[in-house]
Amino acid sequence: MEPSKLPLEKVFFFVAGIIPGFIALLIFNLVAPGSFTWFFTMGFLGYKTKLGVMLLTAFVVGNSLTTFLDRLLGGVGGYLGARMAKEPYVPPTSVKVAPWRDTRWRVALKRRLGTQAPKDTMLISEGIFDIRVQTVGIMPEAQRANAMAELNREKLEAEMNDLVWAGWYEHYHRRVLTNRDKWGVQQHVLHGLNFNLETTAVYALLSTPFVPGLRHWWCIFPAVFWTALLFAEQFAAFGRFKDPWSSLGEQIEYLSEEDIRESLPEQT
């Protein structure tokens, strides 16, 4: 299997789990000094075996901690998402300026959907609608009914099309914010290291009140820094998810790349 086909995110994420696991074992040894002395004094085990067991233990403990923190953050995100769902519904048609009406985005989506793309119409504003109603009012009486019916049909069709465009925008908004297919090796490595260092920081910070040996500035400062970075990243991610405009450029790029990939001939 080629290296590019490996699940790099999972590989580096799990391997970096040794970091919080090793720190957790050190903290445990601070709480109960000499806890691992019996293990290192076993004469029938070689140093390579002992090192392998310690690394495996740190790997298991570390990934347990990162999994717990990841699930906890996911639960918080789910709770916030549920709270957002309870907010008063705002129809997309009531938004005066919306990203799903961007011409560039609509062109990219139409190329992606082909014949399944909704009709490219724009909403009729209330001011324009009132002017056109007044125009209908000065028409001959025999033409007013049909003209008014046509105007209402045009307005309703534009609103229905706008709802469909908004639905597609929401679909790709979620996709591009969670898409990591474009990540390179460096980004996967940084993600794995960052989250495991943040997990280490949270564990160390929570242990500080109970472990006097951690109450030093050179322990507390890095823990506070990485914990603050974790909350900043989560806050920024939630803000991007909540703001539909945040993904407009990425959606255009993503849809354009999808269109290019589909147009390329298959290589045998």
| pLDDT confidence bin for 267, thresholds 50/70/90 | very low
Give me the number of domains the chain comprises. 1
Give the C-alpha separation, 226 to 195, whole Å.
Answer: 9
Provide the pLDDT for residue 66. Answer: 92
**The pair of three-digit structure tokens given for residue 208, joined into one six-digit string:** 């500080």
**Which residue is listed with tokens 């045998």?**
268
Please report whether residue 26 resides in a domain: yes
Please report whether residue 14 resides in a domain: yes
CA angle 84, 85, 86 (to 5 degrees): 90
Please report whether residue 9 resides in a domain: yes
Contact (CB, 8 A) for 9 and 191: yes
Please report whether residue 222 resides in a domain: yes
Please report whether residue 53 resides in a domain: yes
Provide the pLDDT for residue 8. Answer: 58
CB atoms within 10 A of CB 15: 16
Per-residue pLDDT tens over the stretch 165-217: 999 999 999 999 888 777 777 777 788 889 999 999 999 999 999 988 888 88
Please report whether residue 18 resides in a domain: yes
**The pair of three-digit structure tokens given for residue 93, joined into one six-digit string:** 């048609």
Please report whether residue 112 resides in a domain: no
- Residue 30: CB partners within 8 Å, gap ≥ 6? 211, 213, 214
Please report whether residue 268 resides in a domain: no
Per-residue pLDDT tens over the stretch 81-104: 777 767 777 888 888 899 999 999
**Which residue is listed with tokens 């506070």?**
224
Domain encompassing residue 20: 1-89+184-242
Q: Give the pTM.
A: 0.75
